[in-house]
Amino acid sequence: MKNILIDDKGYKIPESWQEITLGKFQKLFSDRKKDLLPEEIIVNTISVLADCPVDVCRKIQYEDLEEISKLFLWAKDVDSVFDVEGKEAEDMVFNIDGRLFTFDKTWSEYRC
C-alpha cells in the first residue's frame, strides 16, 4: 500500500489487485456502469481504493487528482483479473488472489 495525504489526513492506496478486497472490487465495477465524467471516475476510484469519503475527494484539485490516479494505473490492467480460462466475459468471473468469484449481472451478489 502507498500512503497519500488528503485534506491533512493519511490514506492508503493499494498497489495491486492482490491488495483489493472483494467489497472494493464490487464497488469499483458497480460504479463503472454509471454515466460519469472522467474526473468523477477518478474521484470515485480514489474514494473506494483509499476508503476516503467522496465529499473529501471532490475537494481535491484536478492536478492532484491526476497525480493520485497515477498510483493506481495497475487497475487499468483489469483483463488480468478477468482472464479465467474457460469462462466468457459475460459470466463476470474473476480471479483475486487465486480464488475464483462470479458476480451476477447487477454486481450485487457473488458466489465463490
Domain ranges of the chain: 2-111
- Rounded CA-CA distance 13/51 in Å is 9
pLDDT at 42 > cutoff 50:
yes
- Rounded CA-CA distance 22/94 in Å is 11
CA dihedral sign, ordered 112, 83, 2, 62: negative
pLDDT tens for 82-112 read 544 545 445 566 666 677 777 665 555 555 5
Measured between alpha carbons, how far apart are the two ends of the chain, in Å?
A: 26
Q: Residue 31 corresponds to which cell in the numbers above?
A: 460504479
**Cell 469519503, residue?**
53
Q: What is the mean pLDDT of the chain?
A: 77
